[in-house]
Amino acid sequence: ETGDSLQVKAVLYLLETWSAIKFFKKEKKWHSFKTPHGLDYQNLVHLIHPTTEVPELLRGASEDMRRRVGFKLTDDRGTMRDALYEVDYCLICHEREKDSCSTGLHEKDGSVKKNPLGIKLEGCPLDEKISEMHLLKRHGDSIASLALVTIDNPMCAGTGHRICNDCMKGCIFQKQDPVNIPLAETATLTDVLNLPYGFEIYSLLTRWNPLNARRPYALPYNGKNVLVVGLGPAGYTLAHYLLNEGFGVVGVDGLKIEPLPEDWTGENGKSCPKPIKHIEEITDDLDERILSGFGGVSEYGITVRWDKNFLTMLQLLLTRRKRFRAYGGVRFGGTFTIEDAWAFGFDHIAIATGAGRPTIVKMKNNLIRGIRQASDFLMALQLTGAFKKDTLSNLQVRLPAIVIGGGLTGVDSATEIFAYYPVQVEKMLEKFEQITAEFGEEESWARFDEEEARVMQEFLEHGRAIRAERMRADEAGEEPNFVPLIQSWGGVSLVYRKRLQDSPAYRLNHEEVQKALEEGINFVECMNPTEAVPDEFGAVKALIFERLNYVTETGKFEETGEMVEFPARTVCVAAGTSPNVIYEKEKPGTFKLDEWRQFFEPHEIVKNGDGKFHAVESKQGFFTSYSTDEKFISYYGDNHPRYAGNVVKAMASAKHGYEKVVEIFADELATRGILPQAERDKIFDNLEKTLDEQLRAYVVRVERLTPTIIDVVVRAPLQARKFEPGQFYRLQNFETSAPIVEGTRLMMEGL
């Protein structure tokens, strides 16, 4: 052989050797060497048993740990190459009508298949054209790809990576890693958003989309107005569809909703808004972003694993619409009733109020101090801005912490307690140092009683340890590692009465369990809570669990009678929720409930021989039993038995249900014809004027009566008229207008 051929062989040998090394490395940074792994449904997460004393305690391996600091976005959604790998991995099944990611996997008799964990493989609830999206993305047609997505999922900013995975569950790859479709979908959106005026392109596609044969453009206002109760995923998606059909939409929500800058919105759609050239103009770091309140569970229930700047975009999409208005701080059934809606001139009411009250766990002393509902903790953390360095919040967490439950809310609560504790103790240390510098240490400590002094001393010690770790990490040029510290102080444990594999979090979305374990939480299985143990001050200090034994032959859990005590200074209960039918509970006889009295009984609206519409029971219906003068009430999202469970199902309920609302008014609108522009404008303008006057709260006078008592007079007519003895008002100011004094934003919690 010649010298040249030997040189080529040597180079090829080096390349093969290098490739082999890269291929067998655990972290595959070269997508060319990435290969799908087989799925073992009983071992989808990597675990270790760190102690033999409690064999039920599971933890992530130390080499898998990630260093999370604070509340910045914890998942950067990968790179363009990551997304394109998933697109390339897809088999483009729609050409053979095998796109089960969209349509689901079915048995020969037509029933939906289940995977080995018992989860139905129904595919995307929105019937999104996933395979087609991937095909266009492969060709480099990003805008066309997004246009396809927005046909079935116009509010796609609210879905995608770390939100939904129904499509992944239904992927044709059932025995190996599925295509990460949510990652590819979000990349399709962000690739367009990152273009100059990318947000405006996305905004246009939600209103004008030539690929959407059924509704290629938004219809003009038809003079009919719909009240949407709840501005979570179901509510804001329904609002979008109804606006495009020509309806006026007013959304009300129990949370306060922060206003967006008027130059972004064009004074809420009344004038031309300033175009957004670069998406960075309307986005912020998540640990500094103003919590707008818009988005319901997406705002307060989902952690910073997901980029909540997408919620700002969705709020902006709707707020720019001329016939859309949103009012926060309005409780349906309290401030605002069905009769009020008809009196104000609404033609239809749509209920999208989400899940109802949390499930109470039966255990002794379950209401002592230190025990709270997980949903309450997440709302307090997110909506008061407790995790921000510049806020004053009284959200207190102590370690060890235990979260009871096995669902995704429990997983989220555990990770957020873990991340919040270092922020909390550092803030406490910093504030205490400021106070002692001004008033002296003796006077500062004199304000505390015995219990408070103990807790404060604990926080100060932990705060100094956190500060020292930050300094060490800065000197070493790396991220601080708080995991060993938190675990040494007792850590955060998620405790479930069954096995990990039986938990809803594992069965529905094991990736979230894996990510949580990487942040340092513990998972304890087969433990049933029986009693909370109080300390001498009446606060929780431990939980007693009964150990359960799993019987492989029967698949059941046996009581062993063996009690195990876990120290716990903070307890969050995440044992599920019940449907939100509080209106019927408070005003019996308004709606008919189902046989279990859990959900509203579903009805459909049909026209009888008398030519009038009537509500008739139907399992496929979107309407409640309410019927007065041909006015009806529909319901969506977690309120609906067919669509309860997750964000994307809630949005699907809006997609499938809005058409039924449109049908009610179709004949009347066709007979009446289009009203003159001035008359149409007057209908909505008068409604808006009335609601502004009745619902918006204005501060009339503030007077300091004593050094500790302030008299605040507020003008809020509807709230005042609905007052009943024993009720109280919650007072909050807007974060957008809260002044900042010496680095602290003067924002009130709900008082």
List, for residues 140-159, the tens digit of each pLDDT value.
Answer: 999 999 999 999 999 999 99
Biggest distance spanned by C-alpha atoms of the chain? 101
Cα–Cα distance for residue pair 616/211, rounded to 1 Å:
36
Q: Quote the pLDDT of residue 611.
A: 79
Query: What is the pLDDT, as a whole number, of residue 28?
Result: 66
Average pLDDT of span 218-241: 94
| Cβ proximity of 583 and 339 under 8 Å | no
> For 231-235, what is the mean pLDDT?
94
Q: State the pLDDT at residue 256.
A: 87
CA distance 182 to 161: 4
Residue 718 to residue 587: CA distance in whole angstroms: 18
pLDDT in tens, 408-456: 999 999 999 999 999 999 999 999 999 999 888 888 898 899 999 999 9
Structural domain 218-355+590-696, CATH architecture = 3-Layer(bba) Sandwich (3.50)
Q: What number is the average pLDDT over the span 39-47?
A: 91
Amino acid at residue number 460: L
Specify whether the CB–CB gap between 229 and 235 falls below 8 A. Answer: yes
How far apart are the C-alpha atoms of 346 and 660, rounded to whole Å? 17
pLDDT band at 268 (very low <50, low <70, confident <90, very high): confident
State the Cα–Cα distance between residues 627 and 649, nearest whole angstrom: 26
What's the rounded Cα separation, in Å, for the pair 188 and 140?
Answer: 10
Of 628, 698, 614, 606, the C-alpha closest to 346 is: 628
pTM: 0.93
What pLDDT digit, counting tens, does each position of 634-674 carry?
Answer: 999 998 989 988 899 999 999 999 999 999 999 888 888 77
Inter-residue contact 69 to 482 (CB < 8 Å): yes
What's the pLDDT score for residue 724? Answer: 86
CATH fold, domain 80-215, is Fumarate Reductase Iron-sulfur Protein; Chain B, domain 2 (1.10.1060)
Kindly indicate the confidence band of residue 750, based on its pLDDT and cuts at 50, 70 and 90. low
Beta strand pairing status for 709-715 and 401-404?
Answer: unpaired
Mean pLDDT to the nearest integer, 296-313: 90
Strand partners, 120: 114
Mean pLDDT over residues 716-721, rounded? 90
- pLDDT for 738 equals 84
The mean pLDDT of 507-535, rounded to a whole number, is 94
360-575 matches 80-215 in CATH topology: no
Instruction: Report the 3 state secondary structure along 682-736.
Output: HHHHHHHHHHHHHHCCEEEEEEEEECCEEEEEEECHHHHHCCCCCCCCCCCCCHH
* 94: CB partners within 8 A, 6+ apart: 102, 129, 131, 132, 135
For 567, phi then psi, to 5°, come to: -65, 140
Cα–Cα distance, 423 to 387 (Å, whole number): 7
Q: Say if residues 262 and 279 touch (Cβ distance below 8 Å).
A: no
Strand partners of residue 529: 545
Neighbours of 623 (CB within 10 A): 27
- Write the DSSP symbol of residue 213: S
Query: Hey, what's the torsion of the CAs at 358, 361, 362, 367, to 10 degrees?
Result: -80
Mean pLDDT over all residues of the chain? 91
Helix (H) or strand (E) holding 349, with range, is strand 348-351
pLDDT at residue 19, rounded to an integer: 86
Q: What is the pLDDT of residues 689-700, one digit of tens each?
A: 999 999 999 999
Q: 């300091």: which residue's tokens?
A: 704
Alpha carbons 147 and 154: distance in angstroms, whole number:
9
155's tokens: 């509010």
Are 432 and 444 in contact by the 8 Å Cβ rule? The answer is: yes
Strands (E), 466-514: 492-495
Q: What is the pLDDT of residues 443-486, one digit of tens each?
A: 889 889 999 999 999 999 999 999 999 999 999 999 999 999 99
For the chain, state the CA radius of gyration. 28
Around Cβ 100, how many Cβ atoms within 10 Å?
Answer: 24
Residue % of the chain over a pLDDT of 90: 62
> What does the pLDDT read at residue 165?
92
Q: Which of 95-109, 305-319, 560-574, 579-593 has the lowest mean pLDDT?
A: 579-593
d(CA 132, CA 140): 13
- Is pLDDT above 70 for 59? yes
Structural contact between residues 637 and 235, judged by C-beta atoms closer than 8 angstroms: yes
* Exposure of 708 in the CB half-sphere (CA atoms within 13 A): 0
DSSP code of 397?
-
In whole angstroms, give the CA distance from residue 355 to residue 728: 23
Residues 4-18, mean pLDDT to the nearest whole number: 88
Which residue is associated with the tokens 């969050």?
572
- CB of 417 within 8 A of CB of 377? yes
Lookup: tokens for 23: 């291929």
Contacts of 333 (CB under 8 A, 6+ apart): 582, 583, 586, 587
Q: How many CB atoms lie within 10 A of CB 549?
A: 11
For residue 55, the model assigns a pLDDT of 87
Query: Each residue of 193-206: pLDDT tens digit?
Result: 999 999 999 999 99
DSSP 373: E
Q: How confident is the model at residue 35 (pLDDT cuts 50, 70, 90)?
A: confident
Backbone angles phi, psi at 355, to 5 degrees: -70, 160
At residue 31, does pLDDT exceed 80? no
For residue 1, the model assigns a pLDDT of 62
- As a whole number, mean pLDDT of residues 168-181 equals 94
**Cα 574 to Cα 577: distance, rounded to the nearest angstrom:** 8
The dotted CATH code for 360-575 is 3.50.50.60
| Mean pLDDT in residue range 20-24 | 82
* Confidence at residue 470, expressed as pLDDT on a 0 to 100 scale: 93
The verdict on whether omega for the bond into residue 273 sits within 30 degrees of 0, i.e. cis, is no
> For residue range 556-595, what is the model confidence (pLDDT) as tens digits?
999 998 999 999 999 999 998 888 888 888 888 888 888 8
Residue in 421, 387, 577, 566 with CA at minimum distance from that of residue 494:
566
C-alpha 745 chain-centroid distance: 25
Task: Give me the percent of the chain exceeding a pLDDT of 70.
Answer: 99
* Predicted local distance difference test score (pLDDT) of residue 341: 94
Domain ranges for the chain: 1-35, 80-215, 218-355+590-696, 360-575, 697-745
pLDDT at 664: 93
